[in-house]
Amino acid sequence: MARVLVVVLLLANGLYGVWASGWLLPWGWGPAQQTEPERLVQQIKPEAVRLLPKKELATEKELATEEANATHCWMAGPFSGDELAALRGALSVALPAKLWKLDVRNDPVRWAVYMGKYDSDEQQDRKLAELKKMDITATAATDADWQPGLYLGVFGNEGDANKALQKFIPKGVRTAKVVQLSEGGENARLVLSAVTNEQKAKVDAQAQVLAGKALERCP
């Protein structure tokens, strides 16, 4: 009887092994198959884990701290009139006085004999070539509000600009006009001499007083 029991157990063991190995799957017998390959993707890859020595770990922490505390120079502008007054008030609250300054200057009034605006730089260049053939000296406009365009002369007052315009008309210039480039007066450029990213963010938050003039790295 004991021998029969042993034989039965051996046969049962063998059948289980065949079943567990999946050899009977073609006939519908076998364990359920795992079909979720995404689980393999989510598994931690031990070969990618790197243990940092204490000294190297300390160095990386120091570098992260240095980056957070790094300072850079930023500038924006120019600001004038009410913009300048609002900027002074906002900065006095946002940052310590030693971290910012306003490079103030007084610009003269400027008038120009002007041609433009043109649809493109190419059109501006063609007009410049035409004027050269007419022996008239012109330069590309340097003020953003008047680009692309040409200056036939820049003057300190409207009267001188109008006199110059009258001299160009007999030469065949028909589309030139007198424009005021700047009203003159005090204007300033904001300079943040050495501020952290956190301090710069405080100034960026004053978008209204920056009047749309973005902070740019100092040259």
| Report for 27-41, 66-80, 138-152: range of highest mean pLDDT | 138-152
**Same domain flag for 170 and 114:** yes
Indicate whether 13 pLDDT > 90: no
- The verdict on 124 and 151 lying in the same domain is yes
Q: Calculate what percentage of the chain has a pLDDT beyond 70.
A: 69
| Among 23-32, 70-79, 94-103, the least confident range | 23-32
Asked, for residue 146, whether it belongs to a domain, the answer is yes
Is residue 154 situated within a structural domain?
yes
In a domain, 54, yes or no: no
> In angstroms, how far apart are the furthest CA atoms of the chain?
133
Statement: residue 43 has pLDDT above 90: no
Residues 146 and 88 grouped into a single domain: no
Query: How many whole angstroms separate alpha carbon 166 and alpha carbon 137?
Result: 15
CA 102 remoteness from chain centre:
23
Give the range among 64-68, 72-76, 107-111, 162-166 with minimum mean pLDDT. Answer: 64-68
Residue 212 lies in a domain: yes
Q: Are residues 126 and 84 in the same domain?
A: no
Residue 115 domain flag: yes
Single pTM value for the model: 0.46
pLDDT of 212 above 70: yes
pLDDT tops 90 at residue 126: yes
The count of structural domains within the chain is 2
- pLDDT tens readout for residues 192-208: 988 998 888 888 887 78
Q: Tell me: do 97 and 117 sit in the same domain.
A: no
**169 and 194 in a common domain:** no
Judge if 125 and 163 occupy the same domain. Answer: yes
**Are 129 and 170 found together in one domain?**
yes
Same domain, 136 and 121: yes
Residue 199: give the domain boundaries. Answer: 73-106+185-217
Range of weakest confidence among 92-106, 107-121, 153-167: 92-106
CATH number of the domain bearing residue 192:
3.30.70.2030
- Quick one: 115 and 177 in the same domain? yes
**124 occurs within a structural domain:** yes
Domain assignment of residue 175, yes or no: yes
Range 79-95 average pLDDT = 85
Angle between the N-to-C axes of helices 81-94 and 197-204, in degrees from 0 to 180, rounded to the nearest 10? 140
Q: Give the domain CATH number at 178.
A: 3.30.70
Domain membership flag for residue 66:
no
Let me know whether 143 and 191 are in one domain.
no
Same domain, 127 and 144: yes
